[in-house]
Structure 1
Amino acid sequence: MLRLAQRRAARTFTEALRPLGIEGRHHGVLLNLRKHGPLSQRQLIDLTGSDKSAMVRTVDDLESRGLAVRRPSPADRRAYAVEMTDEGRALFAEAARISEDVAARLLDGMDEGDQELLIALLERFVAAPEG
Structure 2
Amino acid sequence: MSNESIRELMVRGERARKQIFSPLLSELGLTPGQGQARILYYLFLKDNITQKELADSCHFEATTMSRNLDKLENLGLLTRQNNPDCRRSFLICLTDKGTAEAKEIKKVFELFEGIVSDGISQEEFDVYLKVMTRMCVNLESYNKKEK
The normalised TM-score by structure 2 is: 0.74
Equivalence map 1:105-124=2 (5 Å): 105-107=115-117, 110-111=118-119, 114-124=120-130
Letter aligned with residue 119 of structure 1: F
The question of 1:16 aligning with 2:43 is answered: no
Identity of aligned residues (%): 22
CA-atom RMSD in angstroms: 2.1
- Distance in 2, matches of 1:60 and 1:70, equals 10
- Distance in 2, matches of 1:118 and 1:73, equals 43
Q: What SS class does the counterpart of residue 87 from structure 2 fall into? A: coil
- Unaligned segments of structure 2, at least 5 residues: 1-8, 142-147
The normalised TM-score by structure 1 is: 0.82
- Unaligned segments of structure 1, at least 5 residues: none
Question: How many pairs align?
Answer: 127
Q: What SS class does the counterpart of residue 86 from structure 2 fall into? A: coil
| Distance verdict in 2 for CA 1:16–1:117, change over 3 Å | farther
Q: Deviations over 1:8-33 (max 9, x none)?
A: 21332122211001135111111111
- Structure 2 contact 41–105 (Cα < 8 Å) conserved: no
Q: Deviations over 1:97-116 (max 9, x none)?
A: 12222333344xx42xx253
- Distance in 1, matches of 2:124 and 2:26, equals 27
